C-alpha cells in the first residue's frame, strides 16, 4: 500500500496509489466512518493516521469498502501536488557513513558505532519540487537513502522489538553542501548547516507501509542524474541495520510518531549543478524526482 500526501488547490488529502492512479483515501475514510464509526476526525495528512491502531488492517477494510461500494474514483498523478509523506516530523535523523564503500570514498573506515546527525525539518520538499542551489556554494551533492518512518513513540527499545515501531519506508535525498561539510569537519564543527539548507531534503513520493516491504535489507537503491547512474547498491550493504539503528538512537532520545530516519547513502557521491534532474529510486518504494535550480 503506497500512501501519499496530496494537495489540490487549497485542499489537502491522503492519496493511495491504485493501479498508477490515485484514490482519494480521505474521501474513502469519510464515507467509511460515516457508516461504521461515529465522530472521527477525518485525516487529510498521513501523519493524522498514526493514531489508528493496526493501520494496515484498517486501510485494507476501507479499501474493501470503497471497492464494494464502487466508490473508486481515481485521479491522474499529474493533477495534484505531492507533499512530503510526513509534513511536520518532530525530527529527521540521518546516518553518516553507513555503507562501507561510501565511508571509504570519503576517506574513512567503517564506523564502530552509528554516526547520526540531524537535518532541519524546514529543508524538506516533496516529489517534483525544486532543489534550490545557493549560488555561493561551491559543491552540492545528492545522496539517495532509504528512509524509515516511525509509527509509535520509541524510547530505549531493544533490537528485537525495534521493527514494531516502524510504520513504513520512503526515499530521501540527503542533499549536502559538500565543501562546507568538509571545511566544517576539519575544524570539528557539526554537519547541521551543510545538511539543512532549504530544499535540501527531498522526500517521498510515497510512504510504503512496512507490511508491503518483504525485506527492507534487500532493496536495490540507485541515484541518477540526467538519466545517468551515479549511485547503485543494495540495502543489504547497510553497515548498521534498521533494528540496531532504532535501538541505538532510542538509547539517546525518544523517537516520536512520524519521525524520519535516513539510513545512509551508498558510494558514488558527486556534485550537481542547476538544470540537473535528480532521480532517487529504491526497489519497491518508488522514484523520487527533483530538478535543481539556481537561487
Interacting residues toward Mg ion by CB under 5 A:
143, 174, 265
In angstroms, what is the minimal distance from the CB of 262 to Mg ion? 6
Which residue in 193, 202, 215, 212 sits closest to 260, CA to CA?
202
Three-state secondary structure string covering the chain: CEEEEEEECCEEEEEEEECCEEEEHHHHHHHHHHHHCCCCCCCCCHHHHCCCCCHHHHHHHHHHHHHHCCCCCEECHHHCEEECCCCCCCCEEEEECCEHHHHHHCCCCCCCCCEEEEECHHHEECCCCEEEECCCCCCEECCEEEEEEECCCECCCCCCCHHHHEEEEEEEECCEEHHHHHHHHHCCCCCHHHHCCCCCEEECCCEEEHHHCCCCCCCEEEEEECCEEEEEEEHHHECCCHHHHHHHHHHHCCECCCCEEECCCCCCCCCCCCCCEEEEEECCCEEEEEEEEEC
The residue among 24 and 231 lying less far from Mg ion, judged by its C-beta, is 231
Residue in the shown chain whose Cβ atom is closest to Mg ion: 174
The residue among 21 and 217 lying less far from Mg ion, judged by its C-beta, is 217
The residue among 178 and 210 lying less far from Mg ion, judged by its C-beta, is 178
The residue among 129 and 143 lying less far from Mg ion, judged by its C-beta, is 143
C-alpha span between 199 and 271 (Å, rounded): 16
In angstroms, what is the minimal distance from the CB of 206 to Mg ion? 20
The residue among 22 and 194 lying less far from Mg ion, judged by its C-beta, is 194
In angstroms, what is the minimal distance from the CB of 214 to Mg ion? 25
In angstroms, what is the minimal distance from the CB of 294 to Mg ion? 23
In angstroms, what is the minimal distance from the CB of 174 to Mg ion? 3
The residue among 143 and 281 lying less far from Mg ion, judged by its C-beta, is 143
In angstroms, what is the minimal distance from the CB of 195 to Mg ion? 8
The residue among 119 and 210 lying less far from Mg ion, judged by its C-beta, is 119
In angstroms, what is the minimal distance from the CB of 269 to Mg ion? 9
Amino acid at each position: 500500500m503506497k500512501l501519499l500526501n496530496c494537495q489540490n488547490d487549497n485542499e489537502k488529502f491522503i492519496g493511495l496509489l491504485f493501479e498508477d492512479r490515485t484514490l482519494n483515501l480521505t474521501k474513502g475514510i469519510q464515507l467509511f466512518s460515516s457508516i461504521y464509526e461515529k465522530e472521527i476526525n477525518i485525516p487529510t495528512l498521513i501523519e493524522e493516521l498514526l493514531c489508528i491502531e493496526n493501520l494496515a488492517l484498517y486501510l485494507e477494510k476501507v479499501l474493501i469498502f470503497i471497492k464494494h461500494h464502487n466508490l473508486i474514483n481515481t485521479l491522474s498523478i499529474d493533477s495534484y501536488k505531492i507533499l512530503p509523506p510526513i509534513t511536520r516530523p518532530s525530527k529527521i535523523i540521518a546516518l553518516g557513513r553507513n555503507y562501507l564503500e561510501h565511508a571509504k570514498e570519503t576517506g574513512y573506515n567503517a564506523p564502530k558505532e552509528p554516526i547520526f546527525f540531524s537535518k532541519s525539518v524546514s529543508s524538506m520538499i516533496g516529489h517534483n519540487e525544486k532543489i534550490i542551489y545557493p549560488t555561493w556554494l561551491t559543491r552540492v551533492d545528492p545522496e539517495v537513502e532509504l528512509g524509515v518512518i516511525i509509527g509509535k513513540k520509541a524510547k530505549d527499545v531493544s533490537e528485537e522489538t525495534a521493527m514494531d515501531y516502524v510504520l513504513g519506508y520512503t526515499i530521501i535525498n540527503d542533499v549536502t553542501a559538500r565543501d562546507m561539510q568538509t571545511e566544517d569537519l576539519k575544524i570539528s564543527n557539526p554537519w547541521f548547516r551543510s545538511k539543512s539548507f532549504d530544499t535540501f531534503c527531498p522526500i517521498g513520493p510515497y510512504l510504503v507501509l512496512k507490511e508491503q516491504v518483504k525485506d527492507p535489507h534487500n532493496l536495490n537503491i540507485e541515484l541518477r542524474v540526467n538519466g545517468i547512474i551515479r549511485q547503485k547498491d543494495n540495502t543489504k550493504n547497510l553497515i548498521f541495520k534498521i533494528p540496531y539503528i532504532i535501538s541505538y538512537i532510542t538509547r539517546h532520545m525518544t523517537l516520536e510518531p512520524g519521525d524520519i530516519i535516513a539510513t545512509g547513502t551508498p558510494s558514488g557521491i558527486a556534485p550537481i549543478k542547476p538544470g540537473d534532474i535528480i532521480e532517487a529510486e529504491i526497489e519497491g518504494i518508488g522514484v523520487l524526482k527533483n530538478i535543481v535550480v539556481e537561487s
